[in-house]
Structure 1
Amino acid sequence: MSTWLLRIRRWHGRLAPVVLLPLLITVSTGLGYRLMRDWGGWGRDQAHWLMQLHEGEWLGAHGETIYVLLNGLGLIWMLSTGLLMLLGKWLR
């Protein structure tokens, strides 16, 4: 295995535990919001707390922006490094 692939694998593994919880919160609250609004009969006001968690509003104005930015960058990093590792495995 090439050294660049080993480095990517190492950094992917180090970052995975850090991005796991925020991504799980974002996915589960986004999914919960949509399902409860569409199928659960909840109104916008009843489901708003899910959207507050989803967007990181509980962190304040600046924290919300940082949360969304880091969550997005973390997801992009995990997807791109995962894809590189998969391609590296397929090309061997």
Structure 2
Amino acid sequence: MAKLTIRTLHKTLAPIVLLPLFTTVFTGVSYRLAKDWFGLTRDQVHILMVIHEGEYLGKTFESFYVLLNGLGLLWMLITGLTMLINHWRKQWRMRAKSLES
């Protein structure tokens, strides 16, 4: 039952967490590559950092955006790893049973 609950919560939260995480990754990588590979200045790519850090939400919500983005990432990693470990355990038990036979 616990596996089903973790899987359900992971599946439910994934679409909500996807867009902010994707935006953060995309803007962070774009910022770095634009500066390093294309020689753009900080001022030219500043808009990417504004989006990356959630500054467009204003001072009040910027910190919440960063906090929720981080918590969302941790949640997805922890629940994903939990499901993966449970899967590995199940496979290990099945192999152990087949070797006993």
TM score, norm. by length of structure 2:
0.88
How far has the Cα of 1:55 moved from its partner?
A: 0.2
Does the alignment pair 1:33 with 2:31?
yes
Which residue of the partner structure matches residue 99 of structure 2? Answer: none
- Give the alignment's Cα RMSD to 1 decimal: 0.4
Q: Deviations over 1:58-78 (max 9, x none)?
A: 000011100000000000000
Alignment pair present for 1:19 and 2:17: yes
* Letter in structure 1 aligned against 2:16: V
Q: What is the CA deviation profile of residues 9-62 of structure 1, one whole-angstrom value per residue up to 9, with x for unaligned ones?
A: 000000000000000000000000000010011000001000000000000001
d(CA) in 2 for partners of 1:88, 1:7? 13
- The runs of 4+ residues in structure 1 deviating greater than 2 Å are none
Q: Where does structure 2 lack aligned partners over 5 or more consecutive residues? A: 91-101
TM-score normalized with structure 1 length: 0.97
Give the length in aligned residue pairs: 90
Q: Which amino acid aligns with 2:37?
A: W
Give the counterpart of 1:74 among 72, 75, 83: 72
Q: Are 1:43 and 2:34 matched, yes or no? A: no
